[in-house]
A and B are shown apart, each in its own frame.
Chain A
Amino acid sequence: MSDVHAHTVAFVRDTMLEQKTPPLSSVGPLGWARANLFSTWLNAALTIVSALFMLYVLAGILGWVISPTWFGTSLGDCREILAAAGRDGHGACWGVIRERWIQLLFGFYPSELYWRPILAFILLGVAIAPVLFSDKVSPKLMWFTAAYPFIFPWLLWGGTVWMPLGAAAGFVIGFFAYRFVSEKQSDLLGIIAGVVAALIWWLVLNGLVTGALSSILPIGFEPVESRRFGGFMLSITIGVVAIVCSLPLGIVLALGRQSDLLIVKYICVGFIEFIRGVPLITLLFVASTLLNIFLPPGTDFDIILRVLIMVTLFASAYMAEVIRGGLAALPKGQYEGADSLGLNYWQAQRLIIMPQALKISIPGIVSTFIGVFKDTTLVSIIGLLDPLGLSNAIRADSNWNGIVWELYGFIALMFFVFCFSMSRYSMYLERKLKTDHR
Chain B
Amino acid sequence: MTTLTDPPKDQFRLSMLIYDTRYRSATIQVIATMAFMLLVAWIISNTAQNLAALGKPIDFGFLREPASYDINQRLLDYSSRDTHLRAAFIGLLNTLLVALLGCITATIIGVVVGVLRLSNNWLIARLMTIYVEMFRNVPVLLWIVFIMAILIETLPPPSAFRGDDPASSMILGHTVALTNRGIYIPEPLFSRSLGDIHLLGTFPLRFDVSLDLIVLLVVLAGGLFASAHIKRRADVVQEATGDRPVTWYYRLGVVVVPILLVLIVLGFHLGMPALQGFNFQGGTHLRNSLIALWLALSLYTAAFIAENVRAGIMAISKGQTEAAAALGLRSGRIMSLVILPQALRVIIPPLISQYLNLTKNSSLAIAVGYMDITGTLGGITMNQTGRELECILLLMLCYLTISLVISAVMNWYNESVKLKER
Q: Footprint of B on A, CB under 8 Å?
A: 36-37, 39, 43, 46-47, 50-51, 54, 185-186, 188-189, 192, 260-264, 267, 274, 276-282, 285-286, 289-290, 292-297, 370, 374-378, 380-381, 388, 404-405, 408, 411-412, 415-416, 419-420, 423
User: Which residue of chain A lies nearest to B116 when distances are taken between CB atoms in the complex?
Assistant: A46
B384 at the A/B interface (Cβ < 8 Å)? no
A373 to chain B, nearest CB (A): 8
B366 to chain A, nearest CB (A): 6
Residue from B53, B367, B389 in contact with A290 in the complex, judged by beta carbons closer than 8 Å: B389
Q: Is the CB of A46 within 8 A of B392?
A: no
Q: Of B19-27, B78-86, B196-204, B268-276, which binds chain A?
A: B19-27
Residue from B124, B137, B374, B399 in contact with A416 in the complex, judged by beta carbons closer than 8 Å: B137
B403 at the A/B interface (Cβ < 8 Å)? yes
Chain B residues with CB below 8 A from A405, complex form? 149
Chain B residues with CB below 8 A from A282, complex form? 363, 374, 378, 392, 395-396, 399
User: Which residue of chain A lies nearest to B397 when distances are taken between CB atoms in the complex?
Assistant: A278
Whole-angstrom CA separation of A415 from B146 in the bound complex: 14
- A-B residue pairs in contact (CB < 8 Å), sample of 10: A36-B123, A54-B127, A188-B24, A261-B32, A262-B29, A280-B360, A282-B395, A293-B46, A294-B47, A404-B153
Whole-angstrom CA separation of A379 from B43 in the bound complex: 24
Q: Is the CB of B363 within 8 A of A281?
A: yes
User: Which residue of chain A lies nearest to B36 when distances are taken between CB atoms in the complex?
Assistant: A267
Fill in one digit per residue for B347-371: 1 if any A CB lies within 8 Å of its CB, else 0. Answer: 0000000001000110110110000
B260 to chain A, nearest CB (A): 35
Q: How many residues of B contact A (CB 8 A)?
A: 56
Whole-angstrom CA separation of A375 from B133 in the bound complex: 17
Q: Is the CB of B28 within 8 A of A188?
A: yes
Chain A residues with CB below 8 A from B360, complex form? 278-280
Q: Is the CB of B134 within 8 A of A416?
A: yes
Instruction: Say yes or no: A39-B120 contact (C-beta < 8 A), given A186-B19, A262-B29, A290-B388.
Output: yes
Q: Is the CB of A261 within 8 A of B123?
A: no
Instruction: Say yes or no: A278-B29 contact (C-beta < 8 A), given A186-B18, A388-B145.
Output: no
> Which label, helix, strand, loop or mixed, suits the secondary structure of the B interface?
helix
B249 at the A/B interface (Cβ < 8 Å)? no
> Which label, helix, strand, loop or mixed, suits the secondary structure of the A interface?
helix
Whole-angstrom CA separation of A286 from B404 in the bound complex: 21
Whole-angstrom CA separation of A261 from B21 in the bound complex: 12
Q: Is the CB of B146 within 8 A of A408?
A: yes
Q: Is the CB of B123 within 8 A of A47?
A: yes
Residue from B53, B139, B392 in contact with A375 in the complex, judged by beta carbons closer than 8 Å: B139
Chain A residues with CB below 8 A from B46, complex form? 293-297
Interface residues of B in 96-145 (CB under 8 A from A): 120-124, 127, 133-134, 136-142, 145
Instruction: Say yes or no: A274-B121 contact (C-beta < 8 A), given A264-B32, A282-B392, A380-B141.
Output: no
Whole-angstrom CA separation of A54 from B149 in the bound complex: 22
Q: Is the CB of B19 within 8 A of A263?
A: no
B31 at the A/B interface (Cβ < 8 Å)? yes
B33 at the A/B interface (Cβ < 8 Å)? yes
A320 to chain B, nearest CB (A): 14
